[in-house]
Chain A
Amino acid sequence: MSERLHRGGLIAPGALLGIGMGGFLDGIVLHQILQWHHMLSSVVAPVDVVAIKYNMVFDGLFHAFTWVITAMGIALLWRAGQRSNVPWSTRTFGGSLALGFGSFNLVEGVIDHHLLRLHHVHPGVNEFGWDVGFLIFGAVLVIGGWALIWRGRADTAPRALPRAPQRVH
């Protein structure tokens, strides 16, 4: 009887960490540094101190959820490193990171920008173009990530050694 490889054990934490990277990049660059949008900036336009602080609270809650996703990714990655049936593949992990990052753009873009209309990437005359560009960037990352994961199927060596059988007294 042979041990089956569990690639999902590395793909899932990679995707979770990719989602975290995407969420934090969105929050840090687009919300805080460039200040193009905030989490609820199409609901309450940030035109005065109260409205900006209102949006800051919900930006913070978004970051808190993103932090939880990232922490879950770290925990699962640690677990994967200790298991002998999870292939420790750079291609699989890198692809999973890209898959997670791109999935964040796609899911967040479709739900928040197009369905719920909570905010737009760069509000203004070209906001639809920016929103679509955000989705295209996400789709490219998903396709590239999945291609890397697929190529990583050739990698089979785990990081952890198989456990030695316990002595029976």
Chain B
Amino acid sequence: MPFRAIGVVVLALSMWARAAGACPDCESARLVQATVFDHRFWMNLVLIATPLLVLSVMCAWLYRLGIEPTDTGRPEHE
């Protein structure tokens, strides 16, 4: 029985979300989709990703470099 109740709740929520969600086929939605996925889309994506790519490279460098390694004086087990 609890499973049936959960199913009903999920179904109701999905119907509500469908009704409350952004209109997928209205004029403004079609216009937004056409504007976003025009010939500039991939260029825009690259522009947005560029700073984060630069920062990722910096983190890779930090991982390899760290601060200069020091001697712990402990025996190596591996």
**A: which residues have CB within 8 A of B?**
1-9, 11-12, 15-16, 19, 23, 39-40, 43-44, 49-50, 53-54, 57-58, 61-62, 65-66, 69, 72, 76, 84-85, 96, 100, 103-104, 107-108, 111-112, 116, 118, 149-150, 153, 156, 162-165
Contacts and interface: CB of A to CB of B under 8 A. Distances in A.
B32 A50 contact: yes
Interface in B42-78: 44-45, 47-52, 54-56, 58-60, 62-67, 69-78
B45 A61 contact: yes
A57 B32 contact: yes
A54 B31 CA distance: 9
A5 B59 contact: no
Nearest to A54: B35
Given A15-B59, A44-B35, A100-B59, 18 more contacts: A1-B75, A2-B71, A2-B73, A7-B66, A7-B69, A16-B59, A19-B52, A19-B59, A58-B36, A66-B52, A76-B63, A96-B62, A108-B51, A112-B51, A116-B47, A163-B77, A163-B78, A164-B77
A54 B48 CA distance: 14
Contacts of A57: 32, 36
A39 B50 CA distance: 13
Please tell me the size bucket of the interface on B. 35 or more
B7 to A, nearest CB: 31
B28 to A, nearest CB: 6
A39 B55 contact: no
Nearest to A118: B47
Contacts of A8: 62-67
A111 B54 contact: yes
Contacts of A111: 50-51, 54
A103 B55 contact: yes
B55 A69 contact: yes
Interface string B32-43: 100110000000
B32 A65 contact: no
Contacts of B31: 50
Contacts of B36: 54, 57-58
Nearest to A104: B55
Contacts of A85: 72
Contact of B72 (A5, A9, A53, A116): A5
A23 B53 CA distance: 13
